[in-house]
């Protein structure tokens, strides 16, 4: 479903070349729940940005549902992000001026979904994350855990191929972290494909498959080499 082939990405930081990704091969199948672990500087954020089509690789191939991102125009990549990928960020990244409902509605607006259908789907997504009674609160009127749940609802609402979570519990207390992890596991159980990026082994352990990154290379994949999915 998503396949990365020989992905290289190099940054120049302070005149020095940093090989953030150094030939990464990775295949993630439908309905999988994969945790990408690595220390800071291991390249996991870069990997997440490339998987999320927020950034493009220097070389290599990246297929989502058989389509190669490297051949796409900026506009096509935008559509890809909009329809196939749902983001959950460490910083929540909600728009402060908009309330929970409007934040969740936004990706559907960009998809051009009609107002009535939008309303139904937003309500459905917010109910799923347990925020049906907080729909018209702004982010600053919500707790961290609640904000992250709005973000989860926003990721869900487009029914994406892939939900990409970048340290989703990084800014949360342990109780909220647990809630969010339970929510993510629940989403997985409902058949969503999830890629979770974290530096925390305990969090990663909740995922059936772990991929460990170091210095831009995959050094361990619990599903082993060969690319076939492990059974859940």
Residues that bind other proteins (CB under 8 A): 49, 52, 54-55, 74-75, 78-79, 81-83, 87, 89, 93-95, 97, 106-107, 109-112, 154, 158
Question: Helical H runs in the chain?
Answer: 44-51, 74-84, 100-111, 115-128, 144-156, 174-189, 201-204
Toward other proteins, which CB reaches closer, 111 or 182? 111
Toward other proteins, which CB reaches closer, 94 or 223? 94
Pairing of strands 209-214, 193-198: unpaired
Nearest to 63 by CA among 5, 146, 125: 5
* Least distance in angstroms from the C-beta of 87 to other proteins: 5
Nearest to 18 by CA among 41, 39, 36, 38: 41
| Phi and psi at residue 87, to the nearest 5° | -100, 140
* Least distance in angstroms from the C-beta of 150 to other proteins: 12
d(CA 198, CA 102): 28
Toward other proteins, which CB reaches closer, 83 or 123? 83
* Least distance in angstroms from the C-beta of 98 to other proteins: 9
* Least distance in angstroms from the C-beta of 228 to other proteins: 31
Toward other proteins, which CB reaches closer, 29 or 55? 55
* Least distance in angstroms from the C-beta of 216 to other proteins: 17
Asked if 57 contacts 49 with a C-beta cutoff of 8 angstroms, the reply is no
Toward other proteins, which CB reaches closer, 96 or 226? 96
């Amino acid at each position: 479903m998503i396949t990365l082939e020989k992905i290289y990405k190099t940054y120049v930081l302070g005149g020095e070349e940093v090989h953030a990704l150094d030939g990464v091969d990775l295949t993630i199948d439908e309905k999988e729940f994969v945790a990408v672990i690595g220390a800071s500087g291991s390249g996991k954020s870069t990997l997440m940005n490339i998987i999320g089509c927020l950034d493009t690789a220097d070389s290599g191939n990246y297929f989502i549902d058989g389509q190669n991102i490297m051949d796409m125009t900026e506009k096509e990549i935008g559509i890809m992000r909009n329809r196939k990928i749902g983001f959950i960020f460490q910083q929540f990244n909600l728009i402060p001026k908009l309330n929970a409902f409007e934040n969740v509605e936004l990706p559907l607006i960009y998809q051009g979904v009609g107002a009535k259908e939008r309303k139904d789907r937003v309500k459905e997504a917010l109910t799923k994350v347990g925020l049906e009674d907080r729909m018209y609160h702004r982010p600053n009127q919500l707790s961290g855990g609640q904000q992250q749940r709005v973000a989860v609802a926003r990721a869900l609402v487009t029914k994406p191929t892939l939900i990409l979570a970048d340290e989703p519990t990084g800014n949360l207390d342990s109780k909220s972290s647990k809630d969010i992890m339970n929510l993510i596991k629940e989403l997985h159980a409902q058949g969503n494909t999830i890629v979770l990026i974290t530096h925390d082994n305990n969090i990663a352990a909740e995922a059936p498959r772990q991929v460990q990154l170091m210095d831009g290379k995959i050094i361990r994949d619990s599903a082993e080499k060969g690319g076939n999915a492990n059974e859940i």
